[in-house]
């Protein structure tokens, strides 16, 4: 089936074709469970996604997000996230002029996390340089990028 996701051509035909070949089976997870990942992981991924969208290809894959603290008290989640970059120049790009880009990322991620967690979120973001983190197996494992993840 020729299709284009960009132009939305034939997506319905493609979906019908795929669904027709899927086997029926009982659900793997309970219907009210949306993921098998932790809230910490979801928070880190939301922040990372916002960074990627704001930065485009400026700092392609030289950054990661580590949740240093995640507290859940009543209807409030307090999240402290560290954004690791490989170079000082990347740090400046992530922060933006006068902190503008980091503020935008934080605001957008917080709003999305509040919807996801159905409650208030206090999100603090810090940017630090850790040269060579992407090439260091130990650093990768400590940041959640190991084989067992």
Residue 146, pLDDT above cutoff 70: no
Q: Which domains does the chain have, with CATH numbers?
A: 36-142 (3.30.300.20)
DSSP collapsed to 3 states, 57-110: CCCCCCEEEEEEEEEEECCEEEEEEEEEECCHHHHHHHHCHHHHHHHHHHHHHH
44 CB-near residues (< 8 Å, 6+ apart): 65, 66, 67, 81, 144
Mean pLDDT value of segment 91-100: 94
Region of poorest pLDDT, from 30-34, 47-51, 129-133, 145-149: 145-149
The pLDDT score that the predictor gives to residue 117 is 93
**Torsion angle, alpha carbons of 40, 41, 43, 47, to 10:** 140
Residue 76, pLDDT above cutoff 90: yes
The pLDDT score that the predictor gives to residue 126 is 97
Region of poorest pLDDT, from 39-43, 112-116, 134-138: 134-138
Mean pLDDT value of segment 137-146: 73
Predicted TM-score (pTM) of this structure: 0.74
pLDDT of 2-19, one tens digit each? 888 888 899 999 999 999
Mean pLDDT value of segment 53-57: 85
The pLDDT score that the predictor gives to residue 149 is 46
């Amino acid at each position: 089936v020729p299709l284009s996701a960009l132009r939305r051509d034939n997506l319905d035909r493609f979906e019908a074709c795929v669904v027709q070949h899927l086997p029926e089976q009982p659900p793997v997870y309970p219907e009210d469970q949306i993921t098998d990942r932790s809230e910490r992981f979801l928070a880190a991924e939301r922040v990372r996604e916002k960074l990627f969208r704001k930065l485009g290809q400026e700092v392609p894959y030289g950054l990661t997000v580590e949740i240093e603290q995640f507290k859940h008290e009543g209807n409030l989640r307090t999240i402290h996230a560290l954004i690791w970059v490989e170079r000082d120049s990347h740090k400046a790009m992530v922060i933006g002029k006068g902190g503008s880009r980091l503020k935008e990322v934080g605001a957008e991620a917080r709003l999305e996390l509040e919807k996801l967690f159905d409650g208030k979120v206090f999100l603090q973001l810090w940017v630090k340089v850790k040269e060579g983190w992407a090439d260091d197996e130990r650093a990768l494992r400590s940041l959640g990028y190991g084989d067992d993840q």
